[in-house]
Amino acid sequence: MSMDEFKKLFFQTGENSKIAALVGMSIGILGCITFLVMGYSIYGAAAFAFLAVSGAYGYYLNIKQEARMKSGHPLIKAMEAGNSDYIKWFYVTVLTHKQTIKAANFKTYYIDAYDDKKNVLDIGLKDEEECDRMAALLASKFPDAVQGFSEDIRLEMILKYNYKGIKDRYEPAGD
């Protein structure tokens, strides 16, 4: 995977949540107007207004994150500067969904990467090939990073870097 492909995937991840925020905001505004015009309960209008405000806030957060990423996300800067020590740990997660709308045993692929303070990359990818290519790029840019996931590695990383939020995150989900 080239850096250009990586950047495209990296910056594309926020687009879906931006669209979801716009849809939520639009539904909220239209629902609020409908409830007020039709004389329905003020509580229903308030619920739609809350949805609109939540959507607007989500959209604001997306714009703020997009500006931060385009002005120079630390991961991109580290990759371009050749800072091979920036990423400390990365791994691939493959989730198999037992039942989905698409099909049984549908798989979702993710790559998570951590610097010495926190998670700096949590990106969903479309297939195993794309995931392998991104993992190969990360391995080439950050050769000293611990690669892979196991309970032992997870505990070692928590102890070494005091990571927050991953203590219970990877417990197996029920079917």
- Residue 121 has a pLDDT of 75
Higher pLDDT, 172 or 152: 152
Domains in the chain: boundaries: 3-71, 84-161
DSSP 120-155: EEEEEESSHHHHHHHHHHHHHH-TTSEES--HHHHH
One-letter amino acid at 115 equals D
Question: Do the beta carbons of residue 133 and residue 3 sit within 8 Å?
Answer: no
DSSP 45-102: HHHHHHHHHHHHHHHHHHHHHHHHHHTT-HHHHHHHHT-TTS--EEEEEEEEESS-SS
Higher pLDDT, 13 or 40: 40
- Residue 124 has a pLDDT of 76
pTM equals 0.61
Question: Do the beta carbons of residue 115 and residue 58 sit within 8 Å?
Answer: no
pLDDT for residue 123 is more than 80: no
Question: Do the beta carbons of residue 163 and residue 157 sit within 8 Å?
Answer: yes
What is the band of 171 on the pLDDT scale with cuts at 50, 70, 90?
very low
pLDDT for residue 149 is more than 80: yes
What is the band of 102 on the pLDDT scale with cuts at 50, 70, 90?
low
Which distant-in-sequence residues (6+ apart) come within 8 Å of 45 by Cβ? 31, 32, 35, 36
Instruction: Give per-residue pLDDT as tens, 14-58.
Output: 566 667 777 777 777 777 777 777 777 777 777 777 777 777 777
